[in-house]
Amino acid sequence: MSDFYSSSRPMPLDQADGLRRLFGGRRRAVVPLVANPHVAFGAVVLDRLAAALAAQGRHVLVVDAATNSPPPAELAAVDLGLCIETLSPQVAYLAAGGLATAYIDTRGSAAGLVDAVQRAHPQADVIVVHADAVDLARIFKRRAVRPLLLGADHPESIKHAYAGAKLLATRCELLTFDLLLAMPERSPRAAAIVQSLASCAENFLGAVVVHHALVDPAVDPAQAAELPVPAELARLLAAQLALDDSGFTPFSPAPQAPIPAAGPRRAVAHR
């Protein structure tokens, strides 16, 4: 575990290193995606989300840190960068199931995970963190983010999405959300599902569902890659990337804590 009282930033290696940190950095967007075990095609949605960002010229790192995600490789305890897989010229993937717990400091924050992956893969200008709501609450407690909820045409998936919003609203005072639905783009039920979730968020949490978009899991991935990004999804992503998180100063972890031993690695759905 990282110590809360450790320095909030790594010490510069030399004077030039300090100047590079001051003037050489670029703004990176971090998108929290709330994992939902009741969405059967969650991996497809994650793929499409990364592909849509890449289509906009972004270099994307997907940090797959949900409970049911593949665990990190054992080398994560030594060099996180060695565990990052290149899926395409603009998309990289890090299997990180359970990894957030290795970065929890004495105040319960796991914000150091974002710092660590940024250092491990500095070329990424968008980092998508796919994790359970409880872990996202630890990672993003002090960040100005708009969590992206995940749902489908299934009551349990919408209940779970609402529960995730409630946890993040309660623990982090995050009161705006976006919504991705894994269902056909012309589904007649989509509007009612969005309205139901938005009403519950407004009436019981004082929260707002700002944007929503549909991702049709039945569309062939090769065909989807040839099509333009749907207007609703493009609008949602543009709003996510425009969020100003500049006022946040993240914690940096002490030297990396031991990572729980990984079991046999499962096949990555993206490959």
The CATH code of the domain that includes 180 is 3.40.50.300
Considering its fold, how many domains does the chain have in total? Answer: 1
Range of the domain at 95: 27-242
State pLDDT tens for residues 32-72: 999 999 999 999 999 999 999 999 999 999 999 999 999 99
Structural domain contains residue 249: no
Distance in angstroms (rounded) separating the CA atoms of residues 39 and 148: 14
CA distances from 52 to 199, 220, 233, 267 (A): 28, 15, 8, 23
Structural domain contains residue 94: yes
Among 18-27, 72-81, 220-229, the range of highest mean pLDDT: 72-81
Half-sphere exposure of 22 toward its Cβ, with a 13 Å CA cutoff?
A: 7
The set of residues, in sequence order, having a beta carbon less than 8 Å from that of 152 and lying 6+ positions away, is 36, 38, 39, 40, 41, 158, 181, 182, 183
Structural domain contains residue 18: no
Is residue 173 packed enough to be buried (19+ CB in 10 Å), middle (13-18) or exposed (0-12)?
A: exposed
Structural domain contains residue 134: yes
State pLDDT tens for residues 100-113: 999 999 999 999 99
Distance in angstroms (rounded) separating the CA atoms of residues 113 and 100: 6
